[in-house]
Chain A
């Protein structure tokens, strides 16, 4: 193109502009050039070209006005286009062009009248409204339907830029009247405008709408529905949706009138009809199911229409049906098979559908088909994920799935193999007894995965099914070898998952293969305890270590880490941070979705269905804060990339669990630290010895505690009896209680306590005699805790 700006960066664009604006102004002023019609048109189109390039041509405003009074229609269009574009920024000069517009509005040619009206209503200059409004009002009763149809839209524009005039001129009422205009374009535009006005929920129009949307109007519109073009039909149908039939008969009348439009060429129209049907049948599930069945065919046609955009939207609609009436599309699974050149978003959407519609009858062909896709570099991982879903839904398919997974694990595609191992873990979590079908493939190969999740999955499998894998200790070995290095890295945080899984797996395996695993576990615990910084990994290692070093530690630890049943213990799951994992696998956020699904359903047919979120979630009036923008992006991301959504939530859950589990581990570790070397259980002491020792030993500690409950002598006695300390004597009543308690630490230090409870002052005092002051205060605290707990 001759006058195309070559340079794209902003600086040179400005330079060009300055030069061009002056040059064009010179041409516009040059009467010689402007007398040549060809040159004129060329100049005007050049101006418009620069406008469309985003260059500010506003300085030319007054020069352009001069040429506005042209006879040539094309020139008119170009100049008017320019004037409406820049009128708001040239408010003072805009008055100058009003005269031209008004004159054109008197023209005999309806097309020119229409153009003038279109331009006038687009000027958006408040001070000119008094000139503009009369033209619009006159336009509504123009002889030519073309002008009327422009005037109708102009009314809508006044609603936004001159609300006072809109109300004063009673445009809303006029629009309702003109909905019955003999010309379908005028009527159609009316309906479009009304749709928008009624959607504007703020003020008066809503109250008006109920008076004006009458049965007779609706019947009238539906009666002439086929005279509208397809776009206006959609507007009319959306308008009809606003009407609430007063009786069931009326509802069925409307539905009968609409039935034939289910089979339109225009996919949007089909959806618009469906919206009304679903709206009307919202209370009658049988009817709404019938509507869904009617929609199966058109939606399938859309999917196979060859237009990926339409297919994508249609699949989203189908998905919402599958949630509503599961099984509607089960027979048509072949429709959702991939074409090799489908865009990725379509393939992903197809996978979500296949996942929904797989059942006892069709899983074989679907799995067979999914297998073909697993080599796809871009969606391979999701395909494997889907295969895993099929497995969890239909346990019969394990045989086939294990074969597919075995094949998949041979691939070099990291994302796919990772997904495969994670899938195996998920399936075995849910159905641990299915291990014979999956576990053999673990031992066959030496795998190396890049992602943590995959590594954890592999470690989990080795640990939990290690007794069935001959080489299991040797598979864990390389992971254990690396621990020391990983921990001494500057940031060992990324390895936390792996280390926890490893600890868990190795400990468990220790009970099945003690001889082989013992050195491994020893090294692992040693490395972690000596190298790791404070935190969950070290705490967990300490827990394991202390459990094992207790007198009956082996059996106890075994009962926790390797219980008889094949399922993991709750404790273990918490340690591995995946308590919620199992629940998540099948249900995929069922509870979270239940509520939103209903809302989305109510807004069926709109963007809500595509995003799978209710409208409120992503639309707000545009005067919005940054916060909302963020929310919006979040919503979009979550809705469109379902997989990501799940993963993130999983991660979040894992994070939450990790915090919980950190606490738990810390608590465990603390308890272990406190009670480990401390008191012997029920050390024996006679009252005489107690009396003697009491005198011999110095007072080492004294603690006081306010009482919250009244003293119950028998209960307190029981509390001390149940503790590891020995109750020597107890006397008194609820008002005044005395207790003598004896304890002996593992280092043979003795502690004697005189405990007094006073019911009147509501105080509990504990005086301790001992050689060891630390021990004494600890003893005092322990007793007070026991008594008041």
Chain B
């Protein structure tokens, strides 16, 4: 028996409001860290959870909250970056908080180690993992959660730290750890003071077989990168602010200012952060899609013909770049041949997926892909239809029509350099053929 299991039996108690245990597993199911809080959970719970995740990987049937067969425990799980995060709770609690915390844990780790190859880094540097977890959560309650602050407390490994394997310790407590502007370091000094604001909008849409839009919405984010000295206050004004629906803001934004005057006043954290998130294009007038589609699909015995024509529309004379279309083909397809008026078409017969790489769309006219699917059964009529997902980027263009009118600094007396950009990308831009 694991030493903590006996303790668990002896000291078991009922009403926790927070997480009992957190496990982080590698994608292969090895437990990288087993972090019990006031009450320990047997490792077998994590193993059970992993088993369920693995069994249901293909079918995608698993719910985000599982209940254990072994004991009255609930397992929240979250999988990202080839890591599996599991939180165990035994009692009633705030459901979303658990899920969100796991998400946040991943975010903090990404921020700390860098997103690239996170799974491997976490495994090879699990000493850091222990230290991060130690600060992030205490006794099962979220403690110091701001990624900036964690970095302050513990020096992240540099590129060389990876191989050296030695963790450089830091014993000075950052002075602003517990200031009321907890998101901002106090003593920041830059030679060049800069601030960059990016409006990133993800256009999601579903088109029917007739090429008519069925549903669409835009997820927008205003990202900010601030490299400003001192404690600056920024005032941001938008044109046609009305397009933003259901806005949520970073804690640094003075919320009442936003609600009453519709301008954004904030003391930025140092570095990168998400200033605002919003939704657009669901409530009032639908936003015209930046790419129009014309699909067609016809069955015949043992085969099918498909055609997909796309064209750039309504992009305010901005070019649609890096356009490619992923197809999820019927599972019974044997062979697929297609020709395109622009770009290349490749088909992966194992995964039954295909990609049409278009590149930059022409400003005028449409590009067309025509192809033929042969099915495994030469006599059958296929019931499945392909699904096409269009990925694209339209730089310097926000599809919702949101624009920044002004960005001003108050407080410190230096001049700041302002950079502002927009970007529209295709999120789930789905065409049912």
Contact = CB atoms under 8 A, between A and B. Distances in A.
Interface string B32-65: 1110001000010000000000000001111111
A272 B94 contact: yes
B59 A344 contact: yes
A245 interface: no
Given A201-B15, A313-B99, A606-B93, A111 B430 contact: no
B92 A184 contact: no
A310 B96 contact: yes
Contacts of A605: 94-95
A189 B141 contact: yes
A124 B7 contact: yes
A183 interface: yes
A708 to B, nearest CB: 55
Contacts of B259: 260
A623 B138 contact: no
A271 B124 CA distance: 37
Nearest to B36: A85
Contacts of A300: 246, 279, 282
A340 B138 contact: no
Interface string B324-364: 00001000000000000000000000000000000000000
B72 A618 contact: yes
Contacts of B143: 149, 153, 185, 189
Contact of A304 (B95, B279, B383): B279
Interface string B1-45: 011101100011111111000000000001111100010000100
A192 B91 contact: no
B169 interface: yes
Given A73-B171, A263-B249, A622 B72 contact: yes
Interface stretch (B214-222, B226-234, B263-271, B403-411): B214-222
Interface stretch (A225-233, A398-406, A499-507): A225-233
Q: Which of A144, A238, A271, A309 has the most CB of B within 10 A?
A: A309
B417 interface: no
Contacts of B34: 51-52, 54
A235 B173 CA distance: 26
Given A185-B143, A226-B251, A337-B214, A610 B65 contact: yes
B294 to A, nearest CB: 18
Interface string A193-217: 1011001110000000000000000
B130 A606 contact: no
Interface string A306-333: 1111101100000000000000000010
Contacts of B428: 306, 339, 341
B215 A337 contact: yes
B142 to A, nearest CB: 3
Interface in A82-99: 85-86, 88-89
B188 interface: no
A106 interface: no
A265 B277 contact: yes
B171 A109 contact: yes
B18 A263 contact: no
Nearest to B206: A337
Given A184-B182, A234-B94, A265-B248, A54 B31 contact: yes
Interface in B82-138: 90-97, 99-101, 103, 123-124, 126-127, 130-131, 134, 138
A74 B93 contact: no
A622 B71 contact: yes
A56 B3 CA distance: 8
A621 B14 contact: yes
A313 B83 CA distance: 22
Contacts of A85: 3-4
B126 A49 contact: yes
**Taking chain A's interface residues, is the majority helix, strand, or loop, or is none over half, making it mixed?**
helix
Is the interface on chain A under 10, 10 to 19, 20 to 34, or 35 or more residues? 35 or more
A655 interface: no
Interface stretch (A21-29, A462-470, A629-637, A670-678): A629-637
Interface in B175-227: 177-178, 180, 182, 202, 204, 206, 208, 214-215, 217, 219
A268 B249 CA distance: 14
Contacts of B63: 312, 345, 640
A375 B381 CA distance: 13
Interface stretch (A156-164, A552-560, A567-575): A156-164
A297 B11 CA distance: 43
Contacts of B126: 45, 48-49, 52
Contacts of A72: 169
Interface in A58-93: 58, 72-75, 77-78, 81, 85-86, 88-89
A54 B2 contact: yes
B67 A340 contact: no
A321 B195 CA distance: 43
A733 to B, nearest CB: 73
A1 B430 CA distance: 41
B384 interface: yes
A304 B217 contact: yes
A345 B12 CA distance: 33
Nearest to A299: B246
B147 to A, nearest CB: 11
Contacts of A112: 171
Given A160-B38, A606-B92, A305 B131 contact: no
B328 A110 contact: no
A488 to B, nearest CB: 36
Given A54-B43, A340-B430, A607-B74, A271 B94 contact: yes
Contacts of B385: 375
B426 to A, nearest CB: 13
A698 interface: no
A335 B13 CA distance: 42
Contact of A267 (B100, B139, B178, B274): B100
A226 B254 CA distance: 9
B94 A146 contact: no
A629 B67 CA distance: 10
A230 B92 contact: no
B72 A266 contact: no
Given A41-B167, A53-B30, A618-B67, A268 B94 contact: yes
A1 B11 contact: no
B170 interface: yes
Given A185-B143, A304-B219, A340-B387, A265 B249 contact: yes
The listed residue with most B CB atoms (<10 A of its CB), out of A118, A312, A608, A610, is: A610
Interface string A210-254: 000000000000000011011110110010000000000000000
A345 B66 CA distance: 12
A742 to B, nearest CB: 72
A378 interface: yes
A109 B177 CA distance: 14
A619 B6 contact: no
A681 interface: no
A624 interface: yes
A343 interface: yes
Q: Could you say which of B177, B202, B427 has the most chain A C-beta atoms within 10 Å of its C-beta? A: B177
11 contacts: A45-B126, A51-B34, A52-B126, A78-B127, A110-B173, A153-B139, A160-B38, A196-B15, A230-B251, A306-B428, A340-B430
Top 5 A-B pairs, shortest CB-CB distance: A621-B14, A231-B142, A73-B169, A309-B64, A334-B215
Given A74-B167, A88-B6, 7 more contacts: A157-B38, A231-B141, A369-B214, A372-B208, A605-B94, A618-B67, A633-B69
Interface of A: 1, 4, 37-38, 41-42, 45, 48-49, 51-54, 56, 58, 72-75, 77-78, 81, 85-86, 88-89, 109-112, 118, 124, 144-146, 149-150, 153, 156-157, 160-161, 183-186, 189, 192-193, 195-196, 199-201, 226-227, 229-232, 234-235, 238, 260-261, 263-268, 271-272, 297-298, 300-301, 304-310, 312-313, 332, 334-335, 337, 339-341, 343-345, 369, 372, 375, 378, 411-413, 603, 605-610, 615, 618-624, 628-629, 632-633, 636, 640
